[in-house]
Structure 1
Amino acid sequence: MFNPTWTSSTENIFLWAGGWRPTMAFHLLYSKSGLQFEPRLLELVDGNPTRDLADLSPDQLERIDGLHRQTVRLEKEISEEEAQVQESVADARMVELTHALAESEEVEADAMEQEMKTKRGRMNEVLQRADQLRLETLKGLVEILKPVQAVHFLIAAAELHLTLHEFGKSKDAAAAAAAAATGLPE
């Protein structure tokens, strides 16, 4: 649910609510914009559009900032909701059930399963909200950007994702090989 099987341990370090943190999209956009801006500064000063992320207009920047602020707020709400669900594992009912199970009261196993089912359901709702925010963030950014700018942004996102994935997989493979050579678990 939180760590998809296809991700590397490196990618898992950066996961938020089962996927990428929506505010990362803004950091990526600003980073890529800055990297494209610097070498094209003279073109921009001469009034020549670059048609990439270096060429964001004041209106676009204002709209991006508004979307960023909204995304930060919603991300915080989801994080707080996620924390509440996680902390509910230690609520009074769970403590009571774990104590009863430790005393071998098999009847409590069904109650524990039902309690965990409820908590999994709540966590699934959190993950769905997080996925929706990821989708709305990307959609919002792509709508603000000009088509060519959106292509530059989406290529940068794909490059970042794929490079991080491959880097992580190679690190995991090296760690597995080292563990196998020493006979230790990964």
Structure 2
Amino acid sequence: MLSPSWRTRLEEAFLWIGGWRPSMAFHLVYSRSGLQLEARLSELISGLSTSDLGNLSTNQLILVDELQRITLREEKEITRKMAKLQETVADSSIVELSHLETELIRSGGRQEEEAEQVELTLVSKEKALEEMLEKADDVRLRTLKEIIGMLKPLQAVHFLIAAAELHLRLHDWGKERDARR
């Protein structure tokens, strides 16, 4: 659920709780905006309007900045909760089960009762992980919707194209690197 098999190691290295980090969307907006502004600077100086991310209004930049602040706070809170959840892998219930399982393996077998206890303990951990993934997905989706809502339609198209290009290139680069190893 957090690491699908089709992802490359390079992609995995840059992901956050099962997907892209929401704050990445802001970096993408700013980076693409700067590149497009630079490419069309002479047109803008001449008074020609472009419909890409190089022509963000002051109001749009303020809205993006406000959303970025909110999103970063949410990201940090989810990251904190995820770290706390990950630390529970060494809580007393898991450590005790681990030790009991090791002793049972040494003595020649696992009892059905212990297997059920392991399953119950792991199910609760997995449920908590699913909840964290849902929260992360919620922030990702809200961020994407709000950014698109702040942009003019053609700007939104440029943003989505840039996001798709980045995703595809990162995947391709990861496949190339994995193939060389």
Normalised by the size of structure 2, how large is the TM-score? 0.92
Where 1:4 maps in the other structure, the secondary structure is: coil
Structure 1: how far apart are the matches of 2:96 and 2:160?
A: 50
Structure 2: how far apart are the matches of 1:2 and 1:168?
A: 18
Identity %: 53
RMSD of the TM alignment (CA)?
A: 1.2
Structure 2: how far apart are the matches of 1:62 and 1:15?
A: 27
> What residue is the counterpart of 1:54 in the other structure?
54
Query: Which shows bigger deviation, 149-158 or 77-86?
Result: 77-86
Structure 2: how far apart are the matches of 1:47 and 1:129?
A: 44
Structure of higher RCO (CA pairs closer than 8 Å, 6+ residues apart)? 2
Q: 2:120 aligns with which of 89, 114, 126?
A: 114
Structure 1 residue identity aligned to 2:180: A
Structure 2: how far apart are the matches of 1:98 and 1:168?
A: 35
Structure 1: how far apart are the matches of 2:95 and 2:180?
A: 41
Structure 1 residue identity aligned to 2:121: E
> What residue is the counterpart of 2:35 in the other structure?
35
Aligned residue pairs: how many?
A: 175
- CA shift for structure 1 position 159: 0.6
- Give deviations 1:126-163, integer Å, cap 9, x for gaps: 00111111111110100000000001111011111111
> What residue is the counterpart of 1:141 in the other structure?
147
> What residue is the counterpart of 2:129 in the other structure?
123
* Unpaired runs of at least 5, structure 2: 105-109
Structure 1: how far apart are the matches of 2:84 and 2:103?
A: 28
Query: Which shows bigger deviation, 88-97 or 104-113?
Result: 104-113
Where 2:49 maps in the other structure, the secondary structure is: coil
Structure 1 residue identity aligned to 2:171: H
Normalised by the size of structure 1, how large is the TM-score? 0.90
Structure 1: how far apart are the matches of 2:6 and 2:170?
A: 13
Structure 1: how far apart are the matches of 2:97 and 2:171?
A: 40
> What residue is the counterpart of 1:76 in the other structure?
76
Where 1:79 maps in the other structure, the secondary structure is: helix
Query: Which shows bigger deviation, 38-47 or 110-119?
Result: 38-47
Runs of 4+ in 1 over 3 A off after TM superposition: none
* Unpaired runs of at least 5, structure 1: 176-186
